[in-house]
């Protein structure tokens, strides 16, 4: 509440109002890009690749159940999605995907998460991530 002896604070004029009054002569600055140009191109390529790679797949590679019983498949990156590991994907349902990330110690022992460093021998009893490199 403003006391009676004080006036209301003046409204700050908008950029448009200041420009019409002649106070501003330069153009407003452009917004920054949300994603860098190179990353945006890589992300577009990855999204189109995932559509192709996961098309026609009907079973989760973790629980072996059909997608009608456990939900749609999600791409899981065992070695992370950074660097050259972006296109290494295992198809998992949402339930298994959340379990893998919530129980990382057990997932490492079972082979669903792998270190991203060179020289690591993957678990031969688990399905390996398929890599379909883009052209």
What does the pLDDT look like over 106-117, one tens digit per residue?
A: 888 888 887 765
Strand, coil or helix: 29: coil
The span from the CA of 109 to the CA of 58, in Å, is 26
Residue 121 reports pLDDT greater than 60: no
The span from the CA of 133 to the CA of 46, in Å, is 10
Give the per-residue pLDDT at 129: 56
Please write the tens of the pLDDT for every residue from 83-95: 677 777 888 888 8
Give the per-residue pLDDT at 112: 84
Confidence of residue 29 (pLDDT cuts 50, 70, 90): confident
The domain ranges of the chain are 58-119
Contact 69, 94 (CB under 8 A): no
pTM higher than 0.95:
no
């Amino acid at each position: 509440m403003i006391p009676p002896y004080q006036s209301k604070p003046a409204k700050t004029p908008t950029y448009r109002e200041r420009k019409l009054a002649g106070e501003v002569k330069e153009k407003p600055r452009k917004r920054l890009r949300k994603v860098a140009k190179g990353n945006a191109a890589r992300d577009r390529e990855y999204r189109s690749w995932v559509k192709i790679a996961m098309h026609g797949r009907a079973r989760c590679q973790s629980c072996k159940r059909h997608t009608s019983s456990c939900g749609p498949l999600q791409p899981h990156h065992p070695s992370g999605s950074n660097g050259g590991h972006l296109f290494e994907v295992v198809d998992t349902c949402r339930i298994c995907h959340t379990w893998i990330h919530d129980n990382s110690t057990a997932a490492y022992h079972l082979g669903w998460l792998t270190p991203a460093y060179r020289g690591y021998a993957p678990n031969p009893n688990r399905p390996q991530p398929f890599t379909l490199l883009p052209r």
